[in-house]
Amino acid sequence: MSARLSRTSLAAIVVAPMLVGSLAMSGAAFAAGPCNGGAPTTTETKCLTAVQIPGNPLRSFDISWVNPHRGEYYLGDRSNKGIDVIDTNTLTFKRTIGGFVGVKLNAAGTAVDNNHSGPDGVVSHGRWLYAGDGDSTLKVIDLDAPNASAITQTLPTGGTTRVDEMALTTDGEMLLTANNAEDPPFGNLFAANGDQNFSSVHMISKIVIDPAIVPADAGLSIEQPAWDPTTKRFYVSVPIIANNPKGCNFDGTKGTITCHGGLLVVDPTTVAPGTTVFGAFNPATHTGVVKLDACGPNGATVGPHDNLLLGCTSANSPSDTSTLVINAMIKGNSINVGGIVGSDEVWFNKGDRRYYTGSNRQSGGAVLGVIDAEANLLIETVPQGSGSHSVAADSKHNLIFVPQVAPVAVVGAGGDTTTVGAGICGSNSGCIAIYSHQVERDRDDRDRDSDRDDHDH
């Protein structure tokens, strides 16, 4: 953060202009002022405003990302077949970069077909944005180019379903993607663009897990990866693995799942061209699949002290009812954070040293989870619309972005089944809700954060 701003001064700078633009854009669709009708006022994490997205009401979206150095937030907006870009300094909509397959429904038209919809996962470094699509392709986007020429490469990944979540190395030169809906699931390691001014992304290796750990034909998956610059490893959430514990059931078609999940550790420097198979965790190489205790994770993010927060969810394993923190060195005891579960995307915000969770499957309803990353304790939960599984934070301004889908009565399958999202948005079209948690930091902390990027998120 370049200047010390209180919550009041930040709101005065960014909220008032945003409200004018939002009202003009949404017109009669507004039910109340943004935040006023749905966000609580007693939480530490305060709702500032809601950015309205032009075009189709938000029916389905996937992962989001913040690049604090460009001052931009990105959302995989399937409803408008593109990546929405929000200015994180003015909190205004900038553009949607199109060229994606959009929302696909199941054969009966009763639900969104997540496996074939897109865009999905997004991540960025410098001018380059990487996004997965529902047709199993990776799209490389030049953020310095106009919309018509922004997609510079479209790369097949060898599957028939979506390219989902992904992570970059800190220098932006290696990218790990997850094809979570394939059976069996797989990842791909790409050589990415780093800081160069031309695009030359290409695949290095397909990454698979030993079928004894992730068997085929059981609907198993791999989910959100994260990069740790200290260990120089990717850490990939694996929701369910076989024999954790021994003899457990991993196949939902054969009864209640009783297996817990795992964490795949990948050293990109040892991945060979072609296909690389990972087995059980090997402490000597610090690679392979770690068995997790009481966690079926979707999300993963690297926090302080090389700790990893994993977004566990009972939707993967019904007995897993807490969130897990584990050290990236895979040593010592893991810590279960009580009171929060059901997360998809999770994010560590360096600016206030808190974890944020997109917990749309929390018991009792969707929430934004807020966790103290030093004490590993739940601070609070903030109610969200039923589809709010995505979260990202801007470490420079301590802003937290939580997209909301439009009501089910407006968009049908995929829409918000509560009234919470419309209350937060102040409209029936969905929105990007923006929360703030302002902290006072000394100059050394601010300067140190300005020299670091969130690419190790």
CATH number at residue 242: 2.130.10.10
* Number of independent structural domains in the chain: 1
Sign of CA dihedral 313, 314, 316, 319: positive
Amino acid 317: pLDDT = 92
| Parent domain of 99 | 64-399
Largest CA distance in the chain: 62
pLDDT in tens, 169-188: 999 999 999 999 999 999 99
Q: Is the pLDDT of residue 309 over 90?
A: yes
Residue 2 forms part of a structural domain: no
CA 178, 182, 336: angle at the middle one, nearest 5?
A: 55
Mean pLDDT of 14-28: 33
Residue 457 forms part of a structural domain: no
147, burial (CB in 10 Å: exposed 0-12, middle 13-18, buried 19+):
middle
Amino acid 15: pLDDT = 36
Residue 454 forms part of a structural domain: no
pLDDT in tens, 423-443: 999 999 999 999 999 887 544
Residue 425 forms part of a structural domain: no
Q: Is the pLDDT of residue 24 over 70?
A: no
Whether the CB-CB separation of 351 and 395 falls below 8 Å is answered with yes
Residue 411 forms part of a structural domain: no
Q: For the chain, give the mean pLDDT.
A: 90
Amino acid 126: pLDDT = 97
Q: Is the pLDDT of residue 21 over 60?
A: no
Amino acid 33: pLDDT = 60
- Name the DSSP class of 405: P
Mean pLDDT of 399-413: 97
Mean pLDDT of 335-361: 96
Mean pLDDT of 69-74: 97
- Residues ≥6 apart with Cβ < 8 Å to 224: 63, 165, 167, 178, 236, 237, 297, 298, 299, 300, 301, 311, 344, 345, 346
Amino acid 450: pLDDT = 45
Q: Is the pLDDT of residue 5 over 80?
A: no
Q: Is the pLDDT of residue 72 over 70?
A: yes
Residue 410 forms part of a structural domain: no
- The percent of residues in the chain predicted with pLDDT above 90, rounded, is 85
Residue 217 forms part of a structural domain: yes
d(CA 279, CA 241): 11
CA 374, 379, 383: angle at the middle one, nearest 5?
A: 140
Mean pLDDT of 398-404: 98
Mean pLDDT of 236-255: 97
Structure tokens given for 79: 């409803």
Mean pLDDT of 188-209: 98
Residue 9 forms part of a structural domain: no
Q: What is the pTM of this model?
A: 0.90
Amino acid 441: pLDDT = 57
396, burial (CB in 10 Å: exposed 0-12, middle 13-18, buried 19+):
buried
Whether the CB-CB separation of 417 and 408 falls below 8 Å is answered with yes
